Structure formats: structure tokens, C-alpha cells
Amino acid sequence: MKKVLFGISLLFLAFGATSVNAQVIGNNQNNAGSFEEFYDNNNSNFYQKTITSTKRAQPYPHLRESDVIWETCIWRTIDFREKFNQFFYFPKGDQCDLGNQGRVNLAYLVYKTAGAGEYEVFEDDELKVPLDWADVDRKLNKADSTTTEPEYDEYGDMISEGHDTVIFTNFNSDDYYKIYLKEYWYIDKQDTRMKARIIGLCLVDENCKTDKDGEIDCNPQERFWIPMNNMAVRNVMARYNAYDMYNNSADRSYDEIFVTRFFDSFITRETNVYNREIHDYVTGEDAILESQNIEERIFDIESDMWEY
């Protein structure tokens, strides 16, 4: 009897596998037309990439006010010229429209998506005063004027008259080597862990000019801030990947980079009674040490909560 039941079960399994195989083959035949259409219209890829273009950011878990038992506000700088951060800067601006496997640099991405009205931009790190994009765009596509003094010969006669020259400069993401971040570090009493939440991001223009002596003088300027806690911003960041040097199929989106803190940076300010930045009270090597001390003190707060 057992042998009969065993034989019947094998027959059912065989028929089930045949049915599933037939369904898979049928589905492949039904999708053959769409596959052929994809390959006819896409010469640069060997498979259809849809995950990144439809990706959405994972919302942060709900946080109650009573769950935050400690917090501090930190301002930090990410310098794209550091080797670890170069994926923020490349591909360069003139290459972003040429393909590059769908990759764009961060400054180019923020400029294009903010200009398209996908989210609001703000005046400062308080993120309370929205800016009109037309006014922002006029500052980013700026016009500089240079004045040439008149020249005289040894007898005091004018050789050439002075004149003013207006130079129009369009937005170029290559001029943006830095971004500023505003973030909060806090302890969640639900799991007694230190966590970080990035609130704002600012594009910083180096604003470098060459003086009469041929020396380059840079005066960094904050252009605008975007709310990184806003899902509209995070969904835009989630749709674009940065370069991964080890595996092109495992490229991280910009949202994943900021959430997992896959970047190198340094602290420029912590919440303090004087409301001042580090360079306001120390400079040079002392400023670097002060930045590192703040970083270590934050990590020590979490580790000191535990006893072994």
C-alpha cells in the first residue's frame, strides 16, 4: 500500500512540474515581443534596467519626542577632492548629458531637479525661508565684470582707453567641490543606540577669481539649502546612482550613500552657547584636532552608556 501511495505522489509531482514548465515557456513566448522591442531600441545595455528608475526612498521610522533622550546638532563639510568622495564629483558637468551609464554628479543632479521644481530650496540652514528658483538661477548663471585701466606712455599721453568687459558664466557643476550638511545625532531610548539624521544639504560655490598678480582667491559661498528630511528630495536621490569601483551592478544611490553615511567628512560646528563655528576660536592644526575631539566625544557618549 505504501508503494502505491508513493507512486501516486510521484505522478502528481511530475504533472505539476510539467505544468509549471509549460507556464514559464508560455510566459517567455508572450514576453518575447517586448524583449525584442527592448533590444531593438537599446544598443548600450544587454538587459533592461528598471530598478533604479522606479526606486523610492525607504521612509525613516516614526520617532516620538519622548524617545529622544539626548541630541546635538552638527554641521559638517564633505570635500569632493578627497579620494574617497570623488564619486560625488564625477562624471564632470560636460559629460553628464552624454550617458555615462545613467550617472550624474551630485551638484548637477541637485541643480537640474531643483530647477525642474521637484522640491523647494531654502535660504539658509534653518530651512524656513523658501527661495524663488528664478532668483537662484540668476545667481548661479552669473555675470562678472572686469575693468581695464587706461594706459599711458612715458610722456603722459593715453595709449589705450580703459573699458569694462562683462563675462557671462553659466552654471557649471565642476565649480562645486564641497557641500555642507546639517544633521542631528540623537539617542533613541527604545533601543539605546546613537543615531544620525541628515536634515539639510547646501551646495557651495568656491567662487574663485584671479587677481591682478595672477594669484587665485577663493571665497566659498552658500548657494541654497535643500531639505534632506523631505521625501521628495530623498526620492530624487534614490533614482540616481553613484559610481562603485568594485561592482557596477551594486552602485549605491545618493540616498543610500547619505543614509548609510558612505562618505568622508569633517565637523565645522557643533551646537554651542556662543553659536560659533570652530574656525571662530581656533585655526590651523588646532581646528582639525577640535573637529576630531567633537567626533570622538559623540561616539564616546554611546559607548559610555554600556557597562561590562
What are the grid coordinates assigned to 270, written together?
A: 557643533
Q: Are residues 188 and 128 in the same domain?
A: yes
How many whole angstroms separate alpha carbon 133 and alpha carbon 119? 10
Q: Which of the pair, 177 or 164, is modelled with greater confidence?
A: 177
Q: Are residues 69 and 29 in the same domain?
A: no
Instruction: Determine the structural domain holding residue 253 and report its residue range.
Output: 62-303
In a domain, 119, yes or no: yes
Beta-bridge partner residues of 205: 221
Q: Are residues 17 and 154 in the same domain?
A: no
Q: Please tell me which of 103-107, 152-156, 197-201, 246-250 the model is most confident about, judged by mean pLDDT.
A: 197-201
How many whole angstroms separate alpha carbon 174 and alpha carbon 80? 10
Q: Are residues 23 and 83 in the same domain?
A: no
Q: Are residues 122 and 234 in the same domain?
A: yes
Between vectors from CA 111 to CA 106 and to CA 117, what angle results, nearest 5°? 125
In a domain, 230, yes or no: yes
Give per-residue pLDDT as tens, 68-109.
Answer: 999 999 999 999 999 999 999 998 876 776 556 678 899 999
Q: Are residues 148 and 8 in the same domain?
A: no
Residue-level pLDDT at 20: 40
In a domain, 123, yes or no: yes
Helix orientation angle between 231-238 and 106-115, rounded to the nearest 10 degrees: 130
**Beta strands 68-79 and 266-270: pairing type?**
antiparallel
In a domain, 96, yes or no: yes
Question: Mean pLDDT lowest for which of 36-40, 133-137, 138-142, 182-186?
Answer: 36-40
Q: Are residues 139 and 173 in the same domain?
A: yes
Give per-residue pLDDT as tens, 98-115.
Answer: 556 678 899 999 999 999
Residue-level pLDDT at 278: 97
Q: Are residues 85 and 18 in the same domain?
A: no
Between vectors from CA 132 to CA 235 and to CA 224, what angle results, nearest 5°? 60
Q: Which residue has the cell 519626542?
A: 65
| Residue 124 pLDDT greater than 80, yes or no | yes
| Residue 284 pLDDT greater than 90, yes or no | yes
How many whole angstroms separate alpha carbon 118 and alpha carbon 129? 17
How many whole angstroms separate alpha carbon 268 and alpha carbon 287? 9
Residue pair 129/123 in contact by the 8 Å Cβ criterion: yes
| Residue 141 pLDDT greater than 90, yes or no | no
Question: How many domains would you assign to the chain?
Answer: 2
| Residue 308 pLDDT greater than 70, yes or no | no
| Residue 32 pLDDT greater than 50, yes or no | no
Q: Are residues 135 and 186 in the same domain?
A: yes
- DSSP structure class, residue 269: E
Q: Are residues 68 and 211 in the same domain?
A: yes
| Residue 34 pLDDT greater than 80, yes or no | no
